[in-house]
């Protein structure tokens, strides 16, 4: 698999088809992968793919607009890429997609080798990316989910509104407003995020519960129908706020209301980007 990625990367760089290949190499702990940008054939030898390649790299493509780029994607990343292409943030013709067959990503922390699959991967039913120009790895039969969603999702669903509010207040209280969730999210690419706007100032600079609450909930709403569930926000959160729970909940709502899963089909806009006169959602009825 590594060799196939490296060979294709070298070929694309040598021919000038792309000027950069975005993939993974091994991080400074010698265990976990990290994003890697290869600009030369020599650098392409550093590319690698394994079950620690957790990062969703497609957001890097936005900064490379106008420059032909090859990118290594997992099935979830490929869906995020489709979202970005649908939303006109990335041009399909500028990207060479190296799709990697994915056996799930291992839950691990820096400096430690993990063994269990990440929660999102335990329920994932897609091992092969839906879009690619080159597929690497042996395609395999798509699995049925092995485990239920995060047990907290079920617990939350059974809570009263007040109990749920208390749960989130406790979680959001820890938020540092470091914006890591936004910075890694492929769906968060606004040139000026609402939280940074000064005029009008939607959210002040206070790092306090009302602002934390507003930030996390508005961000979740902005992602409704657009989040592919890569859980990068949750992974990078330095204080372990289970943001995936919010996103997954909204995705289920969107799926129920609109029969829509983001990033599955090209050229199908997200439900909240469209308005259909005949849509009846039972809201306010």
Partner 1 sequence: MSQLISRSDLTAWINALLAEYTVIAPTKVDSLALYQPVKRADDIFMDFGITALSPKEWLFPPTETLFTITTQDGTMKLEAPPLDGKNLIFAIRPCDARGFRLLDKVFLAPPADTHYAQRRQNTTLIGLACSKALPQCFCTSVGGAPNDASDVDVLLTEVEEGYLVNIVTEKGQAAVAQAKLIEKDVTPPSPPNLKPVSTEGIVEATLRAYNDDYWERLADRCTHCNVCAFVCPACYCFDVRDHINQGKTERLRCWDSCQAPGFTRVAGGYTPRPTKGARLRQRFGHKLLYYPQQYGDLLCVGCGRCIASCPVNIDIREVMEDLQKLGVKSVSARA
209-222 vs 243-258: helix crossing angle, rounded to 10? 40
Using CB under 8 A, which residues numbered 63 to 92 contact partner 1? none
**Half-sphere exposure of residue 147: CA atoms within 13 angstroms, side-chain side:** 12
**Site string (98-137) toward partner 1, x via CB under 8 A:** -----------xxxx-------------------------
Select 131 or 180, whichever has its Cβ closest to partner 1: 180
Binding of residue 180 to partner 1 (CB under 8 A): yes
Query: Among 183, 217, 256, 274, which residue sits at the site for partner 1 (rule: CB under 8 A)?
Result: 183
Distance between CA atoms of 246 and 164, rounded to whole angstroms?
Answer: 11
Binding of residue 7 to partner 1 (CB under 8 A): no
Question: Dihedral through CA 255, CA 261, CA 191, CA 222, nearest 10?
Answer: 10
Select 59 or 127, whichever has its Cβ closest to partner 1: 59
Query: Among 154, 165, 176, 281, which residue sits at the site for partner 1 (rule: CB under 8 A)?
Result: 176
The residue count for binding partner 1 (CB under 8 A) is 36
Q: Are 268 and 173 in contact (CB under 8 A)?
A: no
Tell me, what DSSP letter sits at residue 282?
A: -
Binding of residue 153 to partner 1 (CB under 8 A): no
Binding of residue 29 to partner 1 (CB under 8 A): yes
Query: Among 8, 79, 235, 248, which residue sits at the site for partner 1 (rule: CB under 8 A)?
Result: 235
Select 101 or 185, whichever has its Cβ closest to partner 1: 185
**Min dist. Cβ of residue 47 to partner 1 (A):** 13
Distance between CA atoms of 112 and 106, rounded to whole angstroms?
Answer: 11
Q: What is the CA radius of gyration of the chain?
A: 20
**Half-sphere exposure of residue 125: CA atoms within 13 angstroms, side-chain side:** 5
Binding of residue 210 to partner 1 (CB under 8 A): no
161-173 vs 209-222: helix crossing angle, rounded to 10? 110
Select 43 or 133, whichever has its Cβ closest to partner 1: 43
Distance between CA atoms of 217 and 183, rounded to whole angstroms?
Answer: 16
Cα→Cα distances 36→45, 54, 159, 256, 265, Å: 11, 13, 43, 38, 28
Binding of residue 205 to partner 1 (CB under 8 A): yes
The owner of tokens 């392409």 is: 44
Select 66 or 139, whichever has its Cβ closest to partner 1: 66
Binding of residue 206 to partner 1 (CB under 8 A): yes
Query: Among 7, 60, 89, 189, which residue sits at the site for partner 1 (rule: CB under 8 A)?
Result: 60
Binding site for partner 1 (CB under 8 A): 27-29, 32, 34-37, 43, 55, 60, 109-112, 174, 176-180, 182-184, 196, 204-208, 232, 235-236, 238-240
């Amino acid at each position: 698999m590594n060799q196939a990625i490296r060979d294709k990367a070298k070929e694309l760089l040598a021919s000038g088809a792309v000027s950069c290949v975005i993939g993974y190499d091994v991080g400074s702990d010698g265990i976990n992968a990290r994003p890697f940008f290869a600009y030369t054939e020599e650098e392409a030898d550093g590319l690698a793919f394994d079950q620690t390649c957790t990062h969703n790299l497609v957001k890097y493509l936005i900064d490379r607009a106008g420059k032909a780029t090859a990118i290594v994607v997992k099935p979830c990343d490929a869906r995020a890429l489709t979202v970005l292409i649908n939303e006109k943030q990335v041009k399909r013709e500028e990207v060479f997609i190296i799709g990697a067959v994915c056996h799930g990503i291992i839950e691990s922390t820096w400096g430690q080798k993990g063994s269990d699959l990440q929660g999102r991967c335990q329920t994932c039913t897609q091992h092969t990316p839906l879009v690619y120009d080159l597929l690497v790895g042996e395609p395999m039969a798509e699995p049925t989910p092995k485990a239920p969603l995060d047990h907290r999702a079920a617990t939350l669903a059974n809570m009263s509104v007040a109990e749920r509010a208390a749960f989130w207040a406790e979680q959001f209280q820890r938020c540092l407003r470091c914006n890591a969730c936004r910075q890694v999210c492929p769906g968060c690419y606004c040139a000026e995020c609402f939280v940074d706007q000064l005029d009008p100032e939607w959210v002040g600079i206070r790092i306090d519960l009302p602002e934390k609450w507003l930030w996390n909930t508005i961000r979740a709403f902005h992602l409704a129908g657009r989040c592919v569930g890569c859980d990068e926000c949750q992974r990078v959160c330095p204080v372990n706020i289970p943001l995936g729970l919010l996103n997954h909940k909204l995705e289920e709502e969107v799926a129920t209301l609109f029969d829509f899963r983001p990033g599955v089909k090209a050229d199908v806009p997200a439900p909240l980007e469209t308005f259909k006169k005949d849509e009846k959602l039972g809201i306010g009825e």
